[in-house]
């Protein structure tokens, strides 16, 4: 995949002395949904946070849209259209839904069109419009996840990173989130999703990477990964 939107080349990252990724490489095709699957502690969240710039890469290179972003601070990556919807949602709990969305559009690229985009997001998530003046911390997990995705979309991303978006949600709500992922692709966004619900994730993903011990051990189209013997055994319980 030479025309990938995002490429990680031998990236090493971790927290302090603890190195979680040693030399991870992967690429994400534009306009597609790419999945990262793997067990707890495999390093999926570290990959996501390293791409977003929330933690720095200790070695290797990250390329986004042809530019080397390895040394860029997080806000500059957001400004380039690379946006993370973090694990645990991380909404601003004492701020209202509306203020959370406004903060999503703090990047320079997004400020001008923030109002129209906010209305689009309210159309996409009518429940957020109903609760626009409610404090984010008082909403349910599913509503907070919608808000976190809406906040990410406010930055006008070309690529959105969804880290464990269905974690802790009821099955009905999880289905809704997967429907949103399909919708985002239909709108032309590039999506990288890390999930523990492997079956549903591979059903929406065009491409997938299996992460184990901080490394990509298997890559392929979503359907063929779902049929792979190792994946079926380890993650689908078949």
Partner 1 sequence: MDVLLSGQLLFAALITGALYALIALGLNLVYGTMRLLNVAHGDLVMIGAYVAFWGLTLFGLSPVVGLVLAAAAGALLGWLTYLGLFRRLLASPQLMRRLEGNSLLLFFGISVILQNLASLAFTASARGYQFMDQVYRFGDVALTGNRIFVLVVAVAICAAVYLLLRFHVFGLAIKALIERRDAALIVGVDIDRVQLAAICLGFAIAAIAGVLVSTTEQISPFMGFPFTISAFVVIILGGLGNISAGLVAGLLLGVLEVYGVALTSAAYRSVLIYGVFIAILLVRPQGLLGRGSVVR
Give the interface with partner 1 as residue ranges (CB under 8 A).
15-16, 52-54, 73-75, 78-79, 83-84, 86, 90-95, 99, 102-104, 106-107, 111, 151, 155
Residue closer to partner 1, measured from CB, 53 or 214 = 53
Decide: 34 and 191 in contact? Cβ < 8 Å: yes
Q: How far is the CB of 57 from partner 1 (least distance, A)?
A: 14
Distances (CA, A) of 155 to 28, 40, 103, 185: 20, 29, 9, 16
Residue closer to partner 1, measured from CB, 60 or 81 = 81
Rounded to whole angstroms, the Cα distance separating 45 from 47 reads 5
Pick from 23, 152, 155, 7: nearest CA to 67: 7
Q: How far is the CB of 120 from partner 1 (least distance, A)?
A: 18
Q: How far is the CB of 146 from partner 1 (least distance, A)?
A: 16
Residue closer to partner 1, measured from CB, 16 or 237 = 16
Angle of helix 141-154 relative to helix 97-104, nearest 10 degrees, comes to 30
Residue closer to partner 1, measured from CB, 101 or 225 = 101
Distances (CA, A) of 171 to 58, 195, 222: 38, 14, 21
Q: How far is the CB of 130 from partner 1 (least distance, A)?
A: 22
Residue closer to partner 1, measured from CB, 2 or 94 = 94
CB atoms within 10 A of CB 185: 17
Using CB atoms within 10 A of its CB, is residue 197 exposed (0-12), middle (13-18) or buried (19+)? buried
Q: How far is the CB of 219 from partner 1 (least distance, A)?
A: 26
């Amino acid at each position: 995949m030479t025309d990938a939107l995002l490429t990680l080349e031998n990236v090493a990252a971790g927290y302090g002395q603890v190195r979680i990724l040693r030399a991870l490489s992967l690429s994400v095709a534009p306009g597609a949904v790419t999945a990262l699957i793997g067990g707890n502690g495999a390093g999926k969240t570290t990959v996501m946070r390293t791409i977003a710039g929330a933690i720095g890469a200790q070695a290797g290179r990250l390329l986004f849209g042809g530019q080397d972003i390895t040394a860029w601070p997080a806000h500059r990556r957001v400004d380039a259209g690379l946006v993370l919807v973090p694990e645990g949602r991380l909404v601003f709990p004492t701020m209202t839904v509306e203020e959370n969305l406004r903060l999503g559009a703090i990047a320079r690229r997004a400020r001008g069109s923030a109002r129209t985009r906010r209305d689009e997001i309210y159309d996409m998530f009518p429940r957020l419009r109903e609760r626009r003046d409610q404090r984010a911390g008082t909403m349910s997990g599913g509503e907070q996840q919608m808000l976190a995705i809406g906040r990410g979309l406010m930055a006008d991303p070309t690529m959105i990173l969804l880290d464990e978006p269905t974690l802790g949600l009821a099955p009905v709500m999880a289905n809704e989130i997967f429907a949103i992922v399909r919708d985002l692709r239909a709108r032309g966004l590039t999506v990288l999703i890390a999930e523990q619900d492997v079956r549903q994730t591979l059903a929406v993903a065009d491409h997938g990477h299996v992460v184990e011990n901080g490394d990509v051990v298997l890559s392929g189209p979503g359907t063929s990964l779902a049929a792979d013997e190792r994946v079926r055994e380890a993650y689908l319980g078949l």
